[in-house]
Every structure is written in C-alpha cells, then in structure tokens.
A and B are shown apart, each in its own frame.
Chain A
Amino acid sequence: MEASPRIDGVVKVPVQSSTAANVIELNNVSRRYGSFEAVRGVSFSVAKGELFALLGTNGAGKTSTVEVVEGLSRPSSGEVRVLGHDPYTERALVRPRIGIMLQEAGFAGDLTVVETMRMWAGTASRPRPVPEVMAAVALEHKASTQVKQLSGGERRRLDLALALLGSPEVLFLDEPTTGLDPESRRNTWQLIRGMLAEGTTVLLTTHYLEEAEELADRLAIMHAGHIVAAGTVAEVVAAHPARITFQLPAGVAPEALPTLPGARSVHCDPTNGAVEIRTDALQESLAALLAWANPAGLVLPRLQARSASLEEAFLSVADGHMSLADPQTEKVSA
C-alpha cells in the first residue's frame, strides 16, 4: 500500500486537486483561540485505506488539527473535506461514516462495559455486534464490570471499542495507546492493521515514534502549528544524518581522530570523553573510523553506529533545528 509521496506544508506546493481517492483533505487550515494561533496553514491529504500519522511535541497543534478534521470545531480559515463533505457543516452526512477516539473523553462510571457499548450502538447507523467488538478489544471478561472499576488501559480499550462500533470508514485515533502496557499496545496495533487491511482510512496522532514507524504509510511532524516535515518514514528520515558514538580510548586526544568522509560534525564531550559523529554516509564514515583504529590496536569502547531514525528527525524538530524560515513562527511562538 505504498502511497505516492506528497509533502505539503514545508514546500508550499499548490494543494492537489480533489480526487475521489482522497478521503481526508486539508487546505491551508488555521485555527485561532483568541490571539493564539494553534494551527497555521496546515495542508495534507490522506488516501483511502492509508494510515496518516501526525507527530509533534505537546502543544504543537496536533489535537487542534484533528478536532477540525473530526468536525468538532470549525477552522478559523481554510478548507476541510472528509469523504467529500465539510465535517462541521455537513456533520450529519459525515458522522455516521467515521469513528472518533478522543485523547480524553469520559464514561458514566456507573454503567457496565456492555451497557456502555449498547448505549453507543444505539446511536450508530450501522453498529457492529457488541460482543464482536468487545472481543476484538479483549474486554469480554469485563462485560458486566462497572466502568469506574476498570484500569486505565481497559478504559482506553473501551474508548477504542466505541470508535470501532459504528463500522467507520475513517477512524480518528488521538493517542490511542497512551497508558497501555506493551502487550495491549501490540494488540491494538494488530487491530488497527486489520482495519487498514479492510480499507479503513486512519488519522493517528501519537507520542510514540515506534508506533508511527510500525503503522504509518505517511506521516507529518508538526511544530508550533506548522507541518515541518512530511512524507513516508523513509523520506522524513532521509533528511537527517546517521550517528556514530563511542568512548574516546584512554590516551587518545580528540584532535587525533581522523577526518571521516561524509561526516557533518564530530563532537567530543570533554567531561567524559563521549564522542558523537553525525554523518550523511554511515558506511564510509564507519569504515574510515575502523581503518584508523584497528591497525593502531585501539579499542573503541561502547561503539555504536545507527542509521537516522524517526526519533532523530523528531528530536531535531523539537529542538528547533528544522523550524521554518517563516517570520511568523518566531514572532508568535515566543
């Protein structure tokens, strides 16, 4: 399910003309709270059956963006289309076809799991059978437990169950695995993959980069209301250097390190002798480093060589390495 790369936001390409295959389309969407602009001209599109992940630090504007796509609030400017309709003004046409899992939504604590699910099924146009969905999120054994007695992870799974209950064509998952143990997280991923295989389109926000790497066909990284990087995981990562780290051997001065091909920077921490080399050509740099160390009989303690990862891309955004050359960014985010 390789989607054609489309990088909006960073490169201001004219937004694609509306095609039937795009289930979600945002065109230059902004959202203001008073004088604070939480979302600033965000554009992206998600094709049918695709999982698009929105990443970003806290306060980057992920949830504000997703709320606009869900039709929970109106954008201050710009255009949103979900399944060809405006999710806010044509809510009645869109809602029956989407499922929403909010980052934070409550339950009536006195209702049991099965009562909560029946209630929700009673509002859905085409509900799946309650026992089937309850089994899918592994809550059958909790069917007659009151919601207030569930653990945090169980409540999160019930959240997911309600989002799935209406047989949605588009699924919005706002940090779906926060608070889950590793096993439940894997199970949730498996469930989401099943939905994708069935043709469901998913818009996911997450704090877990591993989750985005596992699931996302494409992703966007948001910072201060902008999309600062977008594309497939490989495309987003490609812009970032790989890293070699090791401990400077005893008796070797930092100046003695060789010049490595492709290296962007060499940094040695004077307090503990930790060396970090950032390079665009990991294999060549590493070969040159070993070609220098081996003949001299030098052992490089704790040697590690890592390709660029999503984590690296994400951290460089969070550190502001990649902030846009947009004067507005500096002005408002201060």
Chain B
Amino acid sequence: MSTLSPSINRSSSINRSSVSRLSLRRIWGLGRAEFTLFWRNKTAVVNALVLPLVMVGAYAFYARDNESLTGNTSISVYILTGTVVFVLLLVVYYNLVTAYVARREELMLKRLRTGEAHDGEILAAGAMPAVVVALAQVVVAVGIGAALLDLPVPVNVVLLLVGLLGGIVVFVLLAAASTAFTSNVEFAQISTLPVLMVCAFGSGALIPFSALPDAAVQVLRFIPLAPVVELLQLGWVGGPDGVGFAEAFVQARKPVAILVGWIVFGWLAQRRWFRWEPRRS
C-alpha cells in the first residue's frame, strides 16, 4: 500500500446543473456491470434466453391446433403476441425480481446508495440487461415471423411500440414493487406466481377475449398485461374488427389509459415499498 498522489482535479467545481439530473453516464457505468453479472449468472441466462423459446414453441403448436381461438388474428400475429407476453413476464418481470432481490440481499444496493447515483438510476441500471434482452428477443421474433410465417405488415406501428415499451416499463416497475414481498432469491419463484399466472392466462393472449364471457373480459381488461396485448393486436391487424390506421388510435384510448394507470401505480408502489436493505431479523 502506498499513499495516493494528490488528485489533480480536486478543485474542479461540481457543475450545479448537471448534478441533480438523471445521468446516462452513471446509468451506463452501473449498467455495464449489470450486463457482466447477467452473463455470469447461468440461471438468469437460461431463464431469459431458453425459457421463452420453449414457451413460444409449445404455444405455437397449441395455436396451430386451435385455429378457432385465434379469431380474426392470423396465427403468426397470435404467436408474436404470445412471444411478447412471455418475454415481458419471464425476461423482464421474473428475472428482475430475482436480480433486484439478489442485489439487496448481498448489500449491494446499500452500497450503491452511498455513491452519487440516484435511486432511479440504480434501478434503471439494474433493469438494463433484462430490457435489452427482451427487446432483442422481440426483434428476432419479428424477423423470424416475417421470414417464415408471412407476418402481415402492421396497421399502426406507433401503437405496437407504445404497447411494447409501455409493457416493459410496467413490468420493470412491478418487479421493483414485488421485491417488497420477496425476502430472498429462492422465494421469488413463489412470490412472482400471482402476477405471472394472472397475466399469462388472463391477458387475452393465450385465451383470446373472444372466447371468454363478456363479464370476465370487462374485468380482465384491467390487469397489467391486457392493455399491452390489446395494443399489439390493434397495432398489427387492427384488433378483432380489423380497423385501419386512424381508427386504431381511437380504439387505443382505453388500453393506453389503463397502461398509463399501471405505470403510475407501479411508480408509486416501488417508491412506497421498495427496500434498499435486507430486513433485519
């Protein structure tokens, strides 16, 4: 051990305006480490890369044999919507609950909070691997769909992107909020089940709303994943009525409102309940 040489830029003043704003540099500084950690965690890699493939494969066979389920939606769009559903639930939600809880329990979050990074930056950096892998998988799925499954040209790309990106934001926030009732990494397998099950079966992707009683649909519309599925189907084929570009915007008002509602709820929930340190026993 030796002494440190005097720091050269000690006297350089801290720029007042740049200090309080969200810093992409800091997010990237932390996010790069999160990517390294992600690739070194074999369980996370398998969960994020292999599991959705298996699910989508099984799902594709199921859809092929039940053409009546897909209604107006073509099988390729049906499969693509299912891909997004599994990616949001497994790659973003489940994977992130595990990652946040792991960082909390190993006292990493406690350390990060002693530095310059803001709370939001720390959470955003933690979500980076999941979000990037999720987006990459959707891009690959669209590419395969276009090349092999004669995927139709989308009716309204704006709504597709709103649905996908809004869905990612919702499930990042819900993952952060869900850490409040997840005491350790192992328990994440159980604590994530309610959201996973309700969203997987109730969002209108696996079982189309057209196959369900009206009363049930009125309730299921409000679960966090339902507006995402609705926007994807609306954006790709104009929904069950096959509407055009302009009419799709009109019909999108309700799902967009529900999606925004979940983003607000998720934001408030994680602000209120997210813990940065393990509970002391």
**Bound together:** yes
Does B2 lie within 8 Å of A135, measured CB to CB?
A: yes
When distances are taken between beta carbons in the complex, the residues of chain B under 8 Å from A116 are 33
The residues of A that contact B33 with a CB separation of less than 8 Å are 108, 111, 115-116, 118-119, 122
Residues of A contacting B107 with CB < 8 Å?
104-106
A110 touches B4 (CB 8 A): no
| A137 contacts partner chain B, Cβ-Cβ < 8 Å | yes
What residues on A are CB-neighbors of B115 within 8 Å?
A: 95, 100, 120, 123-124, 166
What's the Cα separation between A70 and B115 when bound, in Å?
10
Contact B108 A107, beta carbon cutoff 8 Å: yes
Contacting chain B: which of A125-133, A238-246, A275-283? Answer: A125-133
Interface set, chain B 1-16, CB cutoff 8 A to A: 1-7, 9-10, 12, 14, 16
A125 partner residues in chain B, CB cutoff 8 A: 14, 19, 116
B106 near A108 with CB under 8 A, answer yes
Stretch at the interface among A12-20, A185-193, A312-320, A324-332: A185-193
Least Cβ–Cβ distance between A59 and chain B, in angstroms: 14
Minimal Cβ-Cβ distance residue in B for A192:
B3
Max chain B Cβ within 10 angstroms of own Cβ: one of A116, A118, A122, A128: A122
Contact status A72-B114, CB under 8 Å: yes
When chains A and B are docked, how far (Å) is the Cα of A93 from the Cα of B33?
Answer: 25
A110 touches B37 (CB 8 A): yes
A110, B41: Cβ atoms closer than 8 Å: yes
Distance, CA A195 to CA B4, complexed state (A): 7
Q: Is A143 an interface residue (CB 8 A)?
A: no
Q: If the complex has contacts A92-B19, A122-B28, A124-B115, are A191 and B106 also in contact, measured as CB distance less than 8 A?
A: no
* B3 with A133: CB separation less than 8 A: no
Q: Which residue of A is nearest B5, CB measured?
A: A132
In the complex where A93-B19, A110-B40, A137-B1 touch, is A124 in contact with B116 (Cβ < 8 A)? Answer: yes
| A255 → chain B closest CB, angstroms | 55
Pairwise interchain contact B106-A133, C-beta atoms closer than 8 A: no
* Chain B 103-114: CB-based contact to A (< 8 A → 1; otherwise 0): 100111011111
The verdict on A96 contacting B14 (CB below 8 Å), with A110-B37, A111-B37 known, is: yes
Give chain A's interface secondary structure class: helix
Q: Which of A189-220 contact B (CB under 8 A)?
A: 190-191, 193-195, 198
Asked, given contacts A108-B103, A123-B29, whether A92 binds B20 with beta carbons under 8 Å apart, the answer is yes
Evaluate contact between B7 and A128: CB separation under 8 angstroms: yes
| In the complex, B26 has a CB within 8 A of chain A | yes
A106 to B249, CA, bound (A): 48
Docked CA distance A20–B19 (Å): 23
Check A121 for interface membership: any CB of B closer than 8 A. yes
The answer to whether the Cβ of B30 comes within 8 Å of any Cβ in the partner chain is yes
Chain A residues closer than 8 Å to B6, beta-carbon distance: 198
Q: CB within 8 A of B10: which of A107, A137, A167, A188? A: A167
Expressed in whole angstroms, the Cα–Cα distance for A190 and B3 within the complex equals: 7
Known: A105-B107, A126-B10; 14 extra A-B contacts, CB below 8 A, are: A95-B115, A100-B115, A108-B108, A111-B37, A122-B25, A123-B112, A123-B116, A125-B14, A126-B14, A132-B4, A136-B2, A187-B1, A191-B1, A198-B10
Which residues does A use to contact B, with CB under 8 Å? 70, 72, 92-93, 95-97, 100, 102, 104-111, 115-116, 118-126, 128, 132-133, 135-138, 157, 162, 164, 166-167, 169, 184, 187-188, 190-191, 193-195, 198
